[in-house]
């Protein structure tokens, strides 16, 4: 009986502890969830404990929160991260120093007041100092006619008198200014390249320009231009003997007469056959495999052992022909070549297999991949 009584006491004590933890969990949940969304126009502003809080997406755990200075009685949401009370405009929960409170509005997504267009330069944060969450004036921009041109060129905008890039006015001829593609623009005086920081003038004339696609231009029928923004490469120029036959493989890969050009550079293998050349895997110049009627290329280098007639890419850096399996530019020995195949990984726990029971995982590595054997159970 004593044992039974002791067990009952233990159960009773455990139930009390569970009950206490349930109450604690409920209290914690209520503490964090006891907030009221101010408006359906924004998931970022909430009433809590008699104050207005800026909580991005309502998720203070992941994104942080800011208790604002706003007057709760006159507070209203404009849209998204923008709000106001009787005295101030708020952006990311921070009162703004440079805006006219009475005339501030959003024109589409563009913040303006009666005299200015505003921009935000910095890192948006719900926890950083409000001195760093301030809208700044775009010098010289007209709030009535200002509009963005981001669909054509990122960070480009204009008003009735000026073009702006990254909120800075451009010294271009307004009337003749024209967007050519995402990398190049022009006016009657010169050609410009669009970099990640600014729009810079080039020394080319603009009398005859053939826009090939979003990446390439031909100047005066004889000079191909391409802009590479990474690794400080800049504008790449290719002199063309002629430009009669142009074939676009993808946005970064083109054939012009006998020249194969990928990411602004001529294909490094001199004997490539331009007429039959094709990208076999990947797009935008990011391709492991390519080929012509006589050769297979891995990272633009010929693979002598590969047979163009029977070659097929299986997955990224893994391919095969009638005689060999290739992982990058190396022959991979072991599996049965004829039955070696890629499989649906959602239905198996590996990437490749053959009819002899060999199974492999695919693991990417710099410049290619490797196949990891699955140990037989």
Token pair 């967007």: residue? 179
Segments of 128-266 assigned E as strands: 136-137, 147-148, 156-158, 163-165, 168-169, 178-179, 184-186, 191-194, 199-201, 209-211, 216-219, 223-228, 234-239, 246-250, 253-256, 259-262, 265-266
What tokens were used for 68? 């604002």
276-307 confidence digits (pLDDT tens): 999 999 877 778 999 999 999 999 999 999 99
Q: Does residue 7 surpass a pLDDT of 90?
A: no
Q: Does residue 15 surpass a pLDDT of 70?
A: no
Question: Residues 321, 307: contact at Cβ < 8 Å?
Answer: yes
151-209 confidence digits (pLDDT tens): 999 999 999 999 999 999 999 999 999 999 999 999 999 999 999 999 999 999 888 99
Task: Please state the rounded mean pLDDT for residues 39-44.
Answer: 97
Task: Please state the rounded mean pLDDT for residues 34-58.
Answer: 96
Q: Does residue 319 surpass a pLDDT of 90?
A: yes
Q: Does residue 9 surpass a pLDDT of 50?
A: no
Q: Does residue 3 surpass a pLDDT of 60?
A: no
Question: Mean pLDDT lowest for which of 2-16, 23-37, 221-235?
Answer: 2-16
Task: Please state the rounded mean pLDDT for residues 220-241.
Answer: 94
Q: Does residue 33 surpass a pLDDT of 70?
A: no
Q: Distances from the Cα of 222 to the Cαs of 49, 162, 175, 218, 238, in angstroms?
A: 70, 32, 27, 7, 8
pLDDT for the residue 261:
97
- Average pLDDT score, the chain: 90
Task: Please state the rounded mean pLDDT for residues 335-359.
Answer: 95
pTM of the model: 0.80
| For the chain, percent of residues with pLDDT exceeding 90 | 82
Selected residue with higher pLDDT from 28 and 295: 295
What tokens were used for 286? 């990011």
pLDDT for the residue 26:
35
Q: Which of 6-20, 241-255, 311-325 ranks highest by mean pLDDT? A: 311-325
């Amino acid at each position: 009986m004593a044992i039974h009584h002791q067990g009952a006491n233990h159960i009773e004590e455990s139930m009390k502890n569970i009950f206490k933890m349930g109450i604690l969990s409920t209290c914690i949940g209520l503490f964090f969830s006891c907030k009221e969304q101010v408006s359906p126009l924004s998931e970022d502003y909430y009433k809590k404990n008699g104050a207005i809080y800026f909580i991005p997406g309502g998720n203070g755990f992941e994104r942080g929160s800011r208790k604002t200075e706003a007057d709760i009685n006159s507070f209203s949401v404009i849209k998204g991260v923008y709000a106001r009370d009787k005295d101030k405009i708020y952006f990311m929960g921070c009162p703004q120093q440079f805006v006219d409170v009475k005339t501030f509005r959003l024109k589409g997504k563009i913040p303006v007041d009666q005299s200015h267009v505003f921009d935000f330069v910095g890192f948006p944060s719900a926890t950083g100092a409000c001195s760093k969450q301030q809208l700044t004036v775009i010098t010289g921009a007209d709030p009535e006619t200002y509009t963005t041109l981001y669909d054509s060129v990122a960070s480009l905008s204009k008003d009735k008198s000026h073009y702006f890039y990254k909120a800075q006015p451009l010294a271009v001829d307004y009337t003749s200014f024209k967007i050519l593609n995402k990398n190049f623009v022009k006016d009657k005086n010169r050609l410009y390249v669009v970099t990640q920081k600014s729009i810079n003038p080039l020394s080319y004339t603009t009398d005859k320009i053939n826009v090939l696609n979003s990446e390439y231009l031909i100047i005066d029928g004889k000079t191909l231009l391409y802009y590479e923004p990474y690794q400080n490469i800049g504008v790449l120029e290719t002199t063309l003997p002629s430009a009669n036959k142009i074939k676009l493989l993808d946005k970064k890969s083109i054939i012009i007469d006998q020249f194969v050009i990928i990411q602004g550079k001529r294909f490094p293998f001199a004997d490539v056959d331009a007429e039959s050349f094709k990208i076999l895997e990947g797009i935008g110049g990011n391709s492991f495999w390519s080929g012509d009627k006589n050769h297979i290329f891995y990272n633009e280098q010929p693979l002598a052992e590969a047979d163009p007639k029977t070659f097929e890419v299986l997955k990224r850096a893994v391919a095969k022909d009638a005689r060999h399996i290739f992982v990058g530019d190396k022959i991979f020995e072991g599996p049965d070549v004829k039955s070696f195949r890629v499989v649906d990984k959602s239905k198996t726990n590996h990437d490749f297999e053959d009819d002899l029971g060999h199974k492999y995982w695919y693991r990417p590595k710099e410049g290619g991949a490797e196949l990891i054997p699955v140990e037989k159970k």
